[in-house]
Structure 1
Amino acid sequence: MKQLYFLFFCLIAIQPLKAQQILEVPGLNEFAKIDTSSYSVLPSGRYVRPAGNTIRITDDPFGLSISPNKKWAITIHNAAFTRIDLINQKAKRFPEFGTPDKNSPYGKSSFLGIVFDSKSESFYLSGGDAGNVHQVDIETGRVLRTISIDGIIGDKNFQDSFASDMAIVPETHELFVLDQANFRMVRIDLNTGNLKSSTPTGRIPFGITLSPDHRFAFIANVGMYAYPLVKGTTPENLQSQYIPHHPYGNDTKESREGTRVAGKEIPGLGDPRADEAMSVYQIDLRTNQNVQIYKPGFQIGEMVEEMEVVGGSSPNSIAVGSQYVYVSNATNDNIAVIDYRSKKILTHIPIQFSKPLDKRRGYLPFGLTLSKDEKTLYVTLLGLNALAIIDVASQKTKGFIPTGWGPTRVKLSEDEKTIYVTSCRGYGAGPNGGAGYVAPKQGTYIGDVQLGTFQSIPVPTATELAKLTQVVQNNTYVVKDGSIRGNKTFSLAKPGQSPIKHIVYITKENRTYDEFFGQFKGANGDSTLARYGMNRTVYEKNKTIKNVDVSPNHQQIAKAFSMSDNFYCDSDASIHGHHWMMGVIPNEWVETNSSVSKTGKIFSEAPGRRRPGSTGSMDPEDYAEIGGIWEALERKNISFYNFGEANETGHVREDWSDTLTGAGHIVMVPMQKALFSKTSHNYAGFNTSIPDQFRVQQFETEFTEKWLRGKEKMPSLVTIQLPNDHGGDLDSTAGFPFRSLFMADNDLALGRMLQFLSHTPYWKNMLVIVTEDDPQGGVDHIDAHRSILMMAGPYVKRDYISHRHANFGSILRVIYTLLGVPAVNHYDQTASVLDDFFTETPNFKPYQFSFPDKRIFDADKTMIRYNRSIDWRKIKKTVEMDDEDEQRKNH
C-alpha cells in the first residue's frame, strides 16, 4: 500500500512537469548567421542545414524544369533564369547580376513557367506581365522567338494577358500556357506560333499538369474572386469614385450581394465557395472543354477540429499518375487525391510532421512530384523548410529532408536516384552593410542579397530518412522546461492571468536595427550605420546640418524601458510583413505574387488585372485556414480594435488628402470579417503623404471619445500603424525638405503616443509593443532582417536589453500568452518566449516625449495644409494618471 501511495504522489509530481514542457526555436540564444559549412540561423531562430549538394542561385526560383537529356536544370526568377549544369554542379545566371529588369532580354517580368523542347536545345519561358512566351537557346541564353498569347481566338480578342505556368506536348508540338489575367488556358501550335484555342479556367490559374496520355489538362486555381470596380466608374470620373475604406467584411451578406458606401453602389463578389474559386479544373484536350470542377481541401465555413475555416484551401500544384491527381492544398497542409477517371475527390493526405505542430498549420505544401511507379510523392513545404516524402498507398508521411529556407519546387532525376529541390531564400540574407562589409555583385537590397538554393539530394534509405527527419525537427524546435520560465506578470502556466490587461501593438515601416540603435551602448550595433540615431549629419543635395538628434524618443524609450538587439522581421517587404506580424504565414500565392513585376489595369477586360497586389492588407487569396490574430481573439471573445492596419490593397490611391484611412479604394476587395467592424474609419494607415503628427491627433481624439469619455472600456488589444519612418517624396511646402524628416516625424509621433497612453487610467495594466513590419529600407551588420523591438509599460523592465533571439512569432506569443489565446500556427507555437522583458514589480512612471532637432523638423509646418495646429502647451501639460493614494490624501 505504501508503494502505491508513493507511486501516486510520484505521478502527481511528474504530471505538472510534462504540462510545463514548451517548444522554442533552437537558435534561442544566437544571432542570425549564415554558415554553409555547419548550420545557419534564420530570422525565425530556426536552423537551416540543407541536405545533399547545395548551390546558391538567384532568389525566388519559383519554376523548375529538367532537360530531357538530364544535363540541365533551369530555374525561373523575375526577369531572369538560372542554368544549372547537373553533371558539374555549376550555375550560371542569365542575364548577369547588375542588369536592370527593364533591360533583361526576357522582359521585366517572368513567372512560374519553364518547359524544355524534346531535343534539350531550347526551352520556353513564360513572360509574365508581358503576356508572352520566349523560346530560349540553352547554350547561349539567346531569345530565339517570342510568342504573344494576346490576340483573337474565336470571336473574342484577348488582351492584357499575364503568362504563368506551362505544359508541353513535344509529340504534337503544342504548348499550353496559363493566363492569370484572363482566367484561361491558351493552346499554342509551336510549329507556327499560332494560338489554337482558349479554354476558361477558374480564377487565377496557377499550376498546370497533363495526364500521361495527354488527354487531360489539370489546372489548379488559387483565386477567390474577380474583383469589381465601384459601380459606374469610368476613366473620366475615376477620381470622384474612390471610397475611403474597404467596402465590406469577407463572406458577409454585403460582400456576397453588394452594398452602398459613401452614397456609391458597391457590387458584390458572390460566394467565396463558388466553383471558380480555389478549384481544380479538368479539361479534355480533345474538345478543349472543361469536364469537371473539383473543390479540394476544407471549405470556408466548414468546422475543422472545432474551429471555423475562414481561408480557402489554395490548391496550387498538381502531380498526375495513370488514374489519380494529387493537389497540394497550401492552407490546409494536405494533399487532395482525385480519381480523374470517376471524377471524384477520394481523400486528403495530411502532412504529418509533429503532433504538437500538425494542428497549428503553416507547413504550406507547394511543389510536388510523383515517382514513376506512382508509389511515392515528394512535396516541398514552403513553411517548414523541408521536403516531405509520402507513401501513397498508406497515405502516411514517411519522413522529411531538410532544405533551404522556403522550398518551392521538386523534381526527380531520370533514374530517380536524385532529388532536385529549389528554395526561395536559401540560407537567409546575412549582413548587408557595416564596417568592412563588401557588397556582393547583386547589390545590398534584402531581396537581392538573400540568394535562393538548388539542392541535389541522393534519395535516402529508410535509415537515412529517419536521421534526416530528426535533423528537420532539430532545425525547427527544441523542448524546454517551461516550469522555470516566466513570472507572475508573464506566466506560461497561467495564460491570461497577468496584471497586463491592455496591449498596444504599434508597427512602423521598413527600418533595420542598426539605423536606429547602432550607437546604443551595451547592445550589438554598428555605429557607422546609425543614420537615424543621435548626433548625426543630415544632408540633402547641397544642404548639410551636423550634430542632429534624429530619433531622440526611440533612444529614450529603449533606455527607459526594454529593447531587443536580437529581433528579426521574418519578412523581406511589406507584403510579407503585414501577414507575418498579424499571425498569417505568407502562402505560395503571396510569395510568388510579390516576387514578380506586374501591372495593374483596373479598366482592362481581363479581370485578373484587378487582382490584389497584397501590400498592407491580407486579401482573400492569402487567408490562413483559421485566420490569424483577429480570428484568434474573436474565437475567445477578447476585445480588439485597429488603427490603420490592413487598409492598403494593390490599387488604392494614397494622396495627402485621403486622411480618413490613408487610402482611397476603387477595386472592391473585402477586409477580414473579424476585423471589419473593429477598424477605425478615421485613422490614416499607410500613406507617407500624411504626416504621423496628423495620425497622433486622430488616434488621441478617437481614443478619448471611445475609452476615456465614452462608456466603452479600452479593448484588450489595440493595433496601430505608424508608418512614416518608411520615408516618402520630399516636399518642402509640406515640411519634409530632408529624407530624415520622415524619421523625425515618426519619432515624435511615437513619443507623443506613448506619453498619451502613459497618462491614461489604463496605463497601470498596459503593455506597449513597438516594431517594424519589414527591414527593407535599411542595412544591418548582423542580418538584413534585424529590426526594432521595444516594449514599454509598468511591468516591463527598465533600462534592459534583451539578447534573446526574437521574431514576429515571439511578439505574437507574448500577446497570446498574456491574453490567454492558443497559438494559431506552428511559428507562434515554437517562437522564443520573451519572458525576460517582464518584471513582477511595476513602475508606473509615465513617459514624457522629447522633440527631434528643430533645425530639421518643424512639426507645426506638417499640419498647415490641413488647417490644423498643434497645441504643444496642452500636450506638455498632460495630467498624470490618477494615483489612488494621492487622490485619497487629497480627498
Structure 2
Amino acid sequence: MTSLWQKNLNFAKFYKPMKTIITSLVLAVCAFQSTAQTILEVPGRDLPAKIDIHGYSVLPSGRLVKPAGKTLRINSDPFGMVISPDGKWAVTLHNGAFTRIDLEKQISKRFPPYGTPSKLSPYGKSTYLGVVFSPNSEWIYLSGGDSGNVLVVELSTGKVLKTFSLNGSFKGYDFDDSFTSDLVLLPEKNELLVLDRANFRMVRMKAETGEIVGVVPTGRQPFGISLSPDHQFAFVANVGMYSYPLIEGTTLANLQSQHIPWHPYANDTKESREGTEIMGKKIPGVGDPNSDESMSIFQINLSTNQITKKYKPGFLLGEMVEEMEVVGGSSPNSLAVSSKFAYVSNATNDNIAVLDYATRQIKSHIPIKLNAVLDKRRGYLPFGLCLSKDEKTLYVTLLGLNAVAVIDIPSQKTKGFIPTGWGPTRVRLSADEKTLYVTTCRGYGAGPNGGKDFKAPEQGSYVGDIQLGTFQTIDMPNEAQLAAYTQEVKNNTYQEYSSKGRGNKILSLDKNKQAQSPIKHIVYITKENRTYDEIFGQFKGANGDSTIARYGLNQTVVLPDSLKTTYHHVNVMPNHTLLAKRFAMSDNFYCDSDASIHGHHWMVGVIPNEWVEANSSVSKSAKIFSKAPGRRHPGTTGSIDPEDYAEAGGLWEALERKNISFYNFGEANETAHNREEWFDTLTGAGHVVMVPMQKALWKNTSHNYAGFNTDIPDMFRAEQFESEFTKMWLKGKKKMPSVVTIQLPNDHGADPRPEDGYVSNHSFMADNDLALARMISFLSTTPYWKNMLVVVTEDDPQGGVDHVDAHRSVLMMAGPYVKRNYVSHKHANFGSLLRLIYTNFGVPSVNHYDQTATLLDDFFTENPDFSPVDFVFPDRRIFQPEVTMKKYNKNIDWKKIKKRVEMDNVEEMRKEHYKSLEDK
C-alpha cells in the first residue's frame, strides 16, 4: 500500500477494484439492494487512514475526501460562518475563537492565537453558532454561548468593543442563565435578533447599545434563525424535544437523597408522557414528543412579536417510513427563506421541508437522493443552507456525506453533489454567485498525533485539536463539472463489488442460511479512550510504534507520589496481548469518534447529528435548579438522548424489529448532569433530572451493572456481570440473548487514588485489562461459548496517541470460530462491527455507514477451538485488585475463579457442539 501512496496514482487507478478474494461475512442488506449480486464497501477498505492534502485522504470510516476548489485548513469545528457585505472577508466561529479569512489572498488568521488558554480568551470559552457582520464590514457580532452574551468585535484587530448580556429583567420577568445561540441582524432597525437556547426564547436588542426591546418565546432549544427577504418574519428552528424536569420536590437541601439509579422511563410511553413513581418519588413526565414546541419551526411576525405559525416539518414519531417506525424527531436545524417559502434542513430525515409561509402550510419535503440503496438508510444529515438569488437553487451541507447537495427547487430534485472535507457545516455564496464557500468541522481528519518521528503542531496533539477544519472556495460548477463532482462523491463513499462466490459455512450471504451460523451469541464489549499504539505498539507482525506503547509490556512506570517512585519492567495490560495472540486483532481499526459524546452514538449505529456535533465542541454548564429550562439538560454525554435519536434508531431498534434478543450492561446510563459516586453501583449513575431512554433499550438494560463511572472498579463490574449472567442465563430459565453489550470503562483513566488501589493512571489500565480477561474467561466456561463471538473495542481514542492516526484504536475478537494469532489489516470502523452483527443475524442495516462499511470476513475460521480462556495478573506493583474491593467489603476468590477454567471439559463441549449441529 505504501507504493500506492508514493506514486500518487490518478483517480481512476486509485479506485480500480481490489482483486482480493473474500470468503465470508457479507451483509444481509444485499437483499435490499437493486441486485443480490452486488454489495457495497468503502473505497479505503484495504488502506490505512491517511491525510493527503494534494490527493485523496482516507478517513477513519474508510471513506475518502478530496475537497473541491481551494482549501484552507482552519481551527476545528467551525459551526458558524458569514461573508462580509463588501465581499472581502469570511469569518468562521469556533468554541472560544474565530477565524478571519481574506478571500482574495486566501489567508486565514485565528483570534486568539493558538496556545491561548481558554480562560484568557477575550471571547470567553464558549462562542457558539451565531456570527454576523455589521453593514460596514468593520466589526462582527459573536454569540457568547455559555456566557449568555453577544460580543461586538473589531474585525481588523480582534478587539472586543462591547459586550451585551441577554440576562436581566424585561417587562417584569427576570431572565438568567442565558445561553446564546444563533443570531441575525435587522439592519433597518439596527437590531439583533438573538436566540437564547437556555430560556427558549428569541431576544430583540439594539445593536448599538444591547438594550433588550423584545422577547418572544420559542420552542425548545432554539438553534437556527433566518429572516424573510422583506424582514416581515423571523423563522426559528427548534431542535429540542423536551423540557426535562427535576424529580418532584427536589431542593438543594435534599438533592443527594432524591437521585434515582436509572433512567425513569422509556421514551414515547405512557410513563414518559404522564409521569410515574419510582422508589416512592414522584417522577414528572416530559409530555408528547410530537408537541408543537418539540423539533419545530416558529414563524414570528416582527411587527407584532407574535408567533403566527408553529410548523412540524419532517416525520413524526410513530409514523412508518421505509417499513420502519420513526423513533427519532426530525431535528430541523437551519433555514433559508425566499420570497414565498422557507426551506428547513431536517437532519434526521435526510430531507428539506418547504414551508409556504403565506398560506402557513408545509408544502412538501424534498428528499436528498444519491443512490437508490443508500437513500433508504439515513445518514446524510442536511445542515447548513444557502439559497441562490433567483430562488431556484438550494445548496445544502451534508454533515454525514462529506458533500454539498445542489437542489433544483422547481423540480424538487437533487441536481448533484460537490465534494467537501469531512463533516461540512456551512455554505455561503459570493455576491456574484460565481463562488461557493464551505466550512467543514474535521477537514482531512486527524493524522498521527504521536510516535518517534512526530512533531506536535502549534494547535496541539489532542485528537480534537490536531484535527483541523477546512474553508473551501469553490468555483460554481457548470453542468458537466457538477456531474463529475457527483460521481466523485459516490466514489469517495462506496464501491460496488460482486457477491458471487462469497460466504462460507460460518456466515452466509444467503439470508435463508444465516440462521444456521454457528455464532448464536455476540458479546460486544466497549472500553474507553485508548489508541492502538499505547496498548499494542509493541505487537509483533503489526503496524505499531513501540516508543509510545506506554500501557504495553516491560514498561517503566513513575508514580506521581512525592518520591517519584519508579518501577521497571512493568506489564501494564498483559491480557490484551495474550488475548490478541490467542485470537485475533486489527491494526487498522478506527473510531469514527473524537470523544465519548460521539463514540457512544457511533458504536450503536446512531450517527451524531448537528445538535450532538455542535454541542460536543462547545463549553457548557448544567444548572439543574435554574429557571432556564435548557440549563437542566444542556447537551449529551455518554447517553443517546431524545434530541439525538436517529429516524429509525440504531442497533437496539434494528435488533428489536427482527425479534433478535439483546441485553445491555452499562451503556446509555450517563446523562449530562448525573451523579457519579463510588456508591452509585446499580448503573454507575444517580439521576435527578428526568431524561427518557430509548424505548427498545430501556426494558433490556441491567439495573445492577455500573456503566461509566471511574470511581467504581472494573473488578466490581466483572463480579456484577458474572453474578447477573449466572442468575439469569445459567441458573435461570431464560437463555442467553443473541446480543449482549457491555461497557467496561476504567481504561478511561482518572486521578490516582492510592487508598483505593490506583497508585497511578496505569492502575486503571491494569484494572481494565484484568476485568476484561476475567469476563472472557468466564464466558469461555459457559455452555454458550461454543456458539459465541466476543468483540472488544473502544468508544473513542481521545486519551491516547498513535503514529498512524489519532483515531486508530483497539479491535479484538475472541471465540471458537475466530482465527488464532491473527492480525487483520483491513480498514475497519464502528460501521464494520455493526455490519458484522447485522450480517450474522440477518438484520437490515439502519444507516448508510453500516451499509457500506468494510466486511470483516478475514477474522474467522471454519476450524473451531473450544478451549476455555485463562488470564494472568498485571504487575501487582501498580495494581492490587483486592484493594479496590475493600470499600465494598468484597473479597475475590481467585482460586475458585481460576479453577473453573481447569474444570471445563473441552472434549465434552466439542461433542455437544457437533451434536447440536446434527440435531438441526
Fold shared, TM-score > 0.5 on shorter chain: yes
Report the Cα distance in structure 2 between the residues aligned to 1:403 and 1:691, rounded to whole angstroms: 44
What are the superposed Cα offsets for residues 805-856 of structure 1, whole Å, 9 maximum, x if unpaired?
A: 0000000000000111011000000000000001111111111011111122
1:335 to 324, 348, 352: 352
Matching of residues 754-793 of structure 1 within 5 Å: 754-793=776-815
What are the superposed Cα offsets for residues 534-579 of structure 1, whole Å, 9 maximum, x if unpaired?
A: 0001112311100001111100000000000000000000000000
**1:19 aligned counterpart, secondary structure:** coil
Please state if 1:186 is matched with 2:208: no
What are the superposed Cα offsets for residues 318-368 of structure 1, whole Å, 9 maximum, x if unpaired?
A: 000001000000000000000000000000000001111000010000000
Q: Residue 644 of structure 2 corresponds to which residue in structure 1?
A: 622
Please state if 1:500 is matched with 2:519: yes
Please state if 1:603 is matched with 2:625: yes
**1:193 aligned counterpart, secondary structure:** coil
Structure 1 range deviating more: 484-493 or 542-551: 484-493
Q: Rate the CA distance shift 1:154–1:755 in 2: closer, same or farther, 3 A.
A: same
**Structure 1 residue identity aligned to 2:709:** N
Report the Cα distance in structure 2 between the residues aligned to 1:886 and 1:609, rounded to whole angstroms: 57
Report the Cα distance in structure 2 between the residues aligned to 1:620 and 1:423, rounded to whole angstroms: 25
**1:398 aligned counterpart, secondary structure:** strand
1:514 to 508, 530, 533: 533
5+ unaligned residues in a row in structure 2: which ranges? 1-31, 913-920
Report the Cα distance in structure 1 between the residues aligned to 2:161 and 2:648, rounded to whole angstroms: 47
**Structure 1 residue identity aligned to 2:536:** F
Q: Residue 312 of structure 1 corresponds to which residue in structure 2?
A: 329
5+ unaligned residues in a row in structure 1: which ranges? 1-14
2:831 to 809, 824, 838: 809
Matching of residues 667-706 of structure 1 within 5 Å: 667-706=689-728
Report the Cα distance in structure 2 between the residues aligned to 1:34 and 1:486, rounded to whole angstroms: 34
Matching of residues 29-48 of structure 1 within 5 Å: 29-48=46-65
Matching of residues 477-876 of structure 1 within 5 Å: 477-494=494-511, 495-541=514-560, 542-876=564-898
**Structure 1 residue identity aligned to 2:827:** H
| Alpha carbons 1:612, 1:669 under 8 Å: kept | no
Matching of residues 135-214 of structure 1 within 5 Å: 135-214=152-231
**Structure 1 residue identity aligned to 2:904:** E
Quote how far apart the aligned CAs of 1:155 are: 1.6
Q: Rate the CA distance shift 1:154–1:128 in 2: closer, same or farther, 3 A.
A: same
Report the Cα distance in structure 2 between the residues aligned to 1:237 and 1:693, rounded to whole angstroms: 32
Report the Cα distance in structure 2 between the residues aligned to 1:475 and 1:497, rounded to whole angstroms: 35
**2:874 aligned counterpart, secondary structure:** coil
Quote how far apart the aligned CAs of 1:192 are: 2.8
Quote how far apart the aligned CAs of 1:738 are: 1.2
Report the Cα distance in structure 2 between the residues aligned to 1:735 and 1:96, rounded to whole angstroms: 42
Quote how far apart the aligned CAs of 1:612 are: 4.7
Quote how far apart the aligned CAs of 1:171 are: 2.1
Matching of residues 279-294 of structure 1 within 5 Å: 279-294=296-311
Q: Rate the CA distance shift 1:52–1:887 in 2: closer, same or farther, 3 A.
A: closer
Report the Cα distance in structure 2 between the residues aligned to 1:799 and 1:486, rounded to whole angstroms: 22
Q: Residue 5 of structure 1 corresponds to which residue in structure 2?
A: none
| Alpha carbons 2:34, 2:373 under 8 Å: kept | no
Q: Residue 12 of structure 1 corresponds to which residue in structure 2?
A: none
Quote how far apart the aligned CAs of 1:43 are: 0.2
Q: Residue 88 of structure 1 corresponds to which residue in structure 2?
A: 105
Report the Cα distance in structure 1 between the residues aligned to 2:136 and 2:187, rounded to whole angstroms: 9
Please state if 1:884 is matched with 2:908: yes
**2:785 aligned counterpart, secondary structure:** helix
| Alpha carbons 1:613, 1:651 under 8 Å: kept | no
**2:373 aligned counterpart, secondary structure:** helix
Q: Rate the CA distance shift 1:881–1:387 in 2: closer, same or farther, 3 A.
A: farther
Q: Rate the CA distance shift 1:17–1:648 in 2: closer, same or farther, 3 A.
A: closer
Report the Cα distance in structure 2 between the residues aligned to 1:886 and 1:694, rounded to whole angstroms: 32
**Structure 2 residue identity aligned to 1:884:** E
Q: Residue 293 of structure 2 corresponds to which residue in structure 1?
A: 276
Report the Cα distance in structure 1 between the residues aligned to 2:515 and 2:547, rounded to whole angstroms: 42
Quote how far apart the aligned CAs of 1:613 are: 2.8
**Structure 2 residue identity aligned to 1:436:** D
Q: Residue 259 of structure 1 corresponds to which residue in structure 2?
A: 276
Please state if 1:470 is matched with 2:487: yes
| Alpha carbons 1:508, 1:723 under 8 Å: kept | yes
Quote how far apart the aligned CAs of 1:16 are: 13
**Structure 1 residue identity aligned to 2:896:** K
Quote how far apart the aligned CAs of 1:496 are: 4.1
Q: Residue 77 of structure 1 corresponds to which residue in structure 2?
A: 94
| Alpha carbons 1:760, 1:881 under 8 Å: kept | no
**2:850 aligned counterpart, secondary structure:** helix
What are the superposed Cα offsets for residues 283-335 of structure 1, whole Å, 9 maximum, x if unpaired?
A: 00001111100000000001112110000000000000001000000000000
Report the Cα distance in structure 2 between the residues aligned to 1:341 and 1:73, rounded to whole angstroms: 33
Q: Rate the CA distance shift 1:469–1:496 in 2: closer, same or farther, 3 A.
A: farther
**Structure 1 residue identity aligned to 2:692:** P
Runs of 4+ in 1 over 4 A off after TM superposition: 15-18, 885-888
Quote how far apart the aligned CAs of 1:17 are: 12
Report the Cα distance in structure 1 between the residues aligned to 2:818 and 2:834, rounded to whole angstroms: 17
Report the Cα distance in structure 1 between the residues aligned to 2:399 and 2:602, rounded to whole angstroms: 14
Report the Cα distance in structure 2 between the residues aligned to 1:834 and 1:481, rounded to whole angstroms: 16
Quote how far apart the aligned CAs of 1:492 are: 2.7
| Alpha carbons 1:600, 1:651 under 8 Å: kept | yes
Quote how far apart the aligned CAs of 1:728 are: 1.3
What are the superposed Cα offsets for residues 211-263 of structure 1, whole Å, 9 maximum, x if unpaired?
A: 11111000000000000011111011111111000000000111000011122
Q: Residue 7 of structure 1 corresponds to which residue in structure 2?
A: none
**1:642 aligned counterpart, secondary structure:** strand
| Alpha carbons 1:688, 1:728 under 8 Å: kept | yes
Quote how far apart the aligned CAs of 1:18 are: 4.5
Q: Residue 81 of structure 2 corresponds to which residue in structure 1?
A: 64
What are the superposed Cα offsets for residues 32-57 of structure 1, whole Å, 9 maximum, x if unpaired?
A: 00000111000000000000000000
| Alpha carbons 1:612, 1:649 under 8 Å: kept | no
| Alpha carbons 2:866, 2:906 under 8 Å: kept | no
Report the Cα distance in structure 2 between the residues aligned to 1:886 and 1:170, rounded to whole angstroms: 79
Quote how far apart the aligned CAs of 1:637 are: 0.6
Report the Cα distance in structure 2 between the residues aligned to 1:320 and 1:85, rounded to whole angstroms: 28
Quote how far apart the aligned CAs of 1:881 are: 5.4
Report the Cα distance in structure 2 between the residues aligned to 1:291 and 1:213, rounded to whole angstroms: 16
**C-alpha RMSD of the superposition:** 1.2
Q: Residue 314 of structure 2 corresponds to which residue in structure 1?
A: 297
TM-score normalized with structure 2 length: 0.94
Quote how far apart the aligned CAs of 1:533 are: 0.3
Quote how far apart the aligned CAs of 1:882 are: 6.6
| Alpha carbons 1:162, 1:181 under 8 Å: kept | yes
Q: Rate the CA distance shift 1:746–1:16 in 2: closer, same or farther, 3 A.
A: closer
